[in-house]
Amino acid sequence: MDSFEALVALLLEREGLWVRSGVKVELTKEEKRRIKRPASPRWELDLVAYKATTNEVRIVECKSFLDSPGVNIGGFDGSRPQDISRYKLFHERVLLKTVVGRLVAQLEAAGACRASPKVVLCLAAGKIRSDRDRAALRAHFAKRGWHLYDDAWIIQRVRQMASSGYEDNVAAVVAKLIERAPKAA
């Protein structure tokens, strides 16, 4: 798990979800043919989060993009075709349906969720290209019932961590150091 995924996982756990990283989805040969990837290894999901009270499974794609221009709406609305390949589950309906079906079957068989959970596709983005992109992404995601965990969402929750009791993890300690540091003149 990379550092950004670890941070997002921690923030989701603080909201009452259990989270697993690097979840391998064991597609059958027929399913691999259906998604037009017959030689594909297991499909891997960045994070899978589960909220027991609502029986909701969240598939979270993580893109930090901290030292790049950031996530833009073009990767989702089709206006930047070169970016679409980064977000396959968001664009390929057969792929999404197949991966979700197999993931749910795996989770149910393992007793990791109740029967017939609601599945929500999510994107955690460490940087959004512009305010226009942010507004467009939020609207696009809301229209589709997806969750967007953008940099504003992440920063808000890290700041909440800074004001809570002591936690023995790097993110909480760094949040406290930064939030409690004297303001530079």
pLDDT tens digits for range 67-101: 999 999 999 998 888 888 899 999 999 999 999 99
Long-range contacts of 20-25 (CB under 8 A, 24+ apart): 20/47, 20/48, 20/49, 21/46, 21/47, 22/46, 23/47, 23/48, 23/103, 25/99, 25/102, 25/103, 25/106
**What was the pLDDT predicted at 124?**
98
Helix (H, G, I), strand (E, B) or coil at 64: coil
Domain borders along the chain are 3-153
Give the span between the Cα atoms of 149 and 76, in whole angstroms: 15
CATH of span 3-153: 3.40.1350.10
**What was the pLDDT predicted at 81?**
83
**What was the pLDDT predicted at 185?**
52
Give the span between the Cα atoms of 89 and 120, in whole angstroms: 11
List the chain residues with pLDDT less than 70.
1, 184-185
Statement: the pTM of the whole predicted model exceeds 0.95: no
